[in-house]
Amino acid sequence: MTSDASIGLQFNNSRHTTPIAETPAGPVIGTIDEATGVRRFLGIPYALPPVGDLRWLPPQPLPPRQTPLRALAYGMPAAQNPSALIEVRGPNGEPPESEDCLYLNIYAPPVAGDKKLPVMLWLHGGSFYMGSGCQDIYNGGFLAASGRAIVVTCNYRLGALGFLRLCDITDIPSSGNEGLLDQIAALKWVSANIAAFGGDRDNITLFGESAGAMSIAALMAVPRCNGLFHRAIVQSGNPAAIHSRDRANHLAQAFVEFLDKFNDSGSLREASTRSLLQAQQAVLSDQRMERNWGQLPFKPVYDGELLIAEPLKALKSGTAQLSLMLGSNLDEWNLFSAINPQSFTLDNRQIRERLEWLLPRNLLDPLLDHYYRVAQSLNGNPWPEWSRTWNLLLTDMVFTLPGLRLLEAHGGSGFHYHFAQPLAAHPLLGACHAVELGYVFGTHGAPSLQSLYGGEINAHLLSNSIREAWLNFAECGDPGGGWRTFSERHSRRFGEHPAGRPFDTTELAALWQHIPDELLTGYL
């Protein structure tokens, strides 16, 4: 068998030389970014297209290629409806309505040395029904330009095509975990082939945000993933965003009923992609959604086969042996409130009506009193006081507390951060959900993102400090910079919030100590 050095990239120091990776899956031809020298291999298929008879099946392996693959452009994103939050297009600007979506992208440093580099595999967010690994904000070139890591992004099936359990109520075999199985297939492809790009298959870090972070938490509880990845960075992800089989089946029944209104073929197997997306949107618009299926109706399922334990229990039992870094943003829920007009006129009564079905009054009252006092103390906050109260409470209930409890389950040996840098051009958003992404990837200055970022003071210094920590962690499991573990109740702050809000993990844990895990997760 050839050594890692001999199967590496064929190139020299000239930025005009075409990079070719001789992988076990076949030769792959890439391009070189003229500005940074980063070698890019885009649109690499990691499984057969999940179309036709393969639509509802786990991802199927690709046979090795004999002819070179020209990996010069992104592959198609997963099929999805347009969104006010995320704009996703195909490589030629086309709407994302193709089911042929199982592609990944590799960003390799300009110069390959003898040392194998850590690998960072990104799982994108988007509530499990939107998004793509090809979005501008996820350009892995800035991280790879450090020369310290290989960065990989990928697409996986979303919505009904990736997270709808039909096998119990129809003859369709989908388990509801096809999207997770896609992620595992991408991991396996990377493990088998990354040495040819200069990467170390024995040092793979999964990092992801929102649904991507929730996916990582779920993968921690999947026995077949043991050894496939070694570190995890969980950004703003609730580890319990997983359906029971009963709840998943209830969702599937509603989906099938909605599909009957849009499906011209009369057959679930033959339904067009467009009709599936229409039924998916009907589910997301249903007034019953929140209480019946949560804010995330499409998500992984405890099927007893792939997912056999909750992430918290898997960590407590020692099933998941890995290094963990985790955190969230100070104003997570501002994003979701900003796109919902009703959020601006909330009052005490309305907040209670929205939460009393989930939290008994004796538990809810102290929380509301606390967050209302905090809301009143925030000078210069553009939100009305009760709307502010809602944002503060939901931020901690959905993101902050579940993350802290995941670290507790890990034994406290992981690392915690909180991101506090608000968007200067968008006061209502503050340090909201997903705002850290541009700093993690170094894309905050990209022209296509100028409408989001702009006006932040010393943004490049903040991005540099975050990227340094993420790269340190990928290299050795320690983010460096004197960052102490969570066992010491230490949390590292990134960015400055104008309200100067403190963040005390001990105080927060004590405030929510009477709320059991199952109530924390009910909203999702």
Query: Is 418 part of the annotated catalytic residue set?
Result: no
Q: Which residue has the tokens 């793509």?
A: 132
CA separation for the pair 312, 230 (Å, rounded): 17
Q: Report the C-alpha gap between 139 and 449 in whole angstroms.
A: 12
Query: Active site residue: 210, 328, 343, 387, which one?
Result: 210
The question of whether 332 is a catalytic residue gets the answer yes
Parallel, antiparallel, or unpaired: how do β-strands 69-70 and 20-23 relate? unpaired
Rounded distance, CA 118 to CA 59, Å? 26
CA-angle at 26, arms to 208 and 228, nearest 5°: 35
The one catalytic residue among 209, 332, 436, 475: 332
Catalytic-residue membership of 433 = yes
**Active site residue: 124, 243, 250, 433, which one?**
433
Contact 317, 409 (CB under 8 A): no
500 Cβ neighbours under 8 A, 6+ residues apart: none
Q: Cα–Cα distance between 327 and 315 in angstroms, integer?
A: 17
Identify which of 419, 400, 420, 398 has the alpha carbon closest to the alpha carbon of residue 408.
Answer: 400
Environment class of residue 447 by beta-carbon count within 10 Å: exposed (0-12), middle (13-18) or buried (19+)? exposed
Rounded distance, CA 328 to CA 217, Å?
Answer: 14
Tokens of 181: 């199985």
The residues pairing with 494 across neighbouring beta strands, listed in sequence order, are 419
Q: How far is CA 34 from the centre of its chain?
A: 29
Q: Give the catalytic positions in this structure.
A: 210, 332, 433
